[in-house]
Chains A and B, each alone.
Chain A
């Protein structure tokens, strides 16, 4: 069922969540690094999921540490950039993303995280 999920992403009223992400990143940069969102997969199995490191990455960007953000999760840059676009109200209502591109991005990010957590 996930394979047939729409690649048309509904970006309507993402502005407030985007503000939350950007300012959440800035706030996290000033909090102890233990504050984050636990990954169920990593907690249960020790294996990171493709999205592990995103909180760390967004926190680094919130603190202005670009290289630290890339080291934690390159996808974080994309997410943060998308949030700023949405925050400025420049995001179109519908964004159509090709599924192969999405899949490749997620898989690349996953391999990155697997290496970062020394699973590969």
Chain B
């Protein structure tokens, strides 16, 4: 059992943030989650996380460490999407020359999609997310969720799409700014410093 440093509410031992107010929990050995300010003199920024699906208002906007807003996430998505889209267009154009070439390009697009999903899992960031200063982390750990779960999260986005893409819009009103895939995977996307564009995670 750990206790919130802001409101004092008790939380699960392995949670990183208070389910009541989203404040940071007392550090019991566990390191500060990635994305939060290191060694601040005041209370470190929390994500403004709240449990469940309704009730409290959407978390306030602020700088690094806070939940990212929908617009920023959408632009990040568009950057990744544009990469794959350009590849697909090349595939369609080559398809007029040879079907085999198109199949090869389609496989490359699929492999690239998987690679991006694994990047998000391993580092918390895809190329678009690095440019926009976004990071996907597990709610409980505050850390990236790992390659395997990153792949599963990408699959879980099917749920966002199957209901006419409404799931992708959830961060517009959800108080933890989660898509349905985020809810399934217990992840949130937070604001981190922006980086230069790179297809692979910087060393």
Contacts and interface: CB of A to CB of B under 8 A. Distances in A.
A5 B164 contact: no
B174 to A, nearest CB: 7
By size class, the interface of chain B is 20 to 34
B175 interface: yes
Given A14-B71, A17-B75, A93-B61, A6 B173 contact: yes
B71 A9 contact: no
B182 interface: no
B54 A10 contact: no
A50 B58 CA distance: 26
Main secondary structure of the interface of A (DSSP, over half): loop
A13 B132 CA distance: 12
By size class, the interface of chain A is 20 to 34
A115 B173 CA distance: 30
A51 B177 CA distance: 22
B90 to A, nearest CB: 17
A99 B18 CA distance: 28
Contacts, number: 64
Contacts of B71: 12-17
Contact of A7 (B75, B78, B171, B173): B173
Interface string B140-176: 0000000000000000000001111110001111110
A57 B24 CA distance: 46
Interface in A1-58: 1, 4-17, 20, 37, 39-41, 49-52
Contact of A37 (B165, B170, B177): B165
Given A9-B173, A10-B171, 17 more contacts: A6-B175, A7-B173, A9-B172, A10-B172, A10-B173, A12-B69, A13-B70, A14-B70, A17-B70, A17-B74, A41-B162, A41-B163, A49-B164, A51-B164, A51-B165, A52-B164, A93-B61
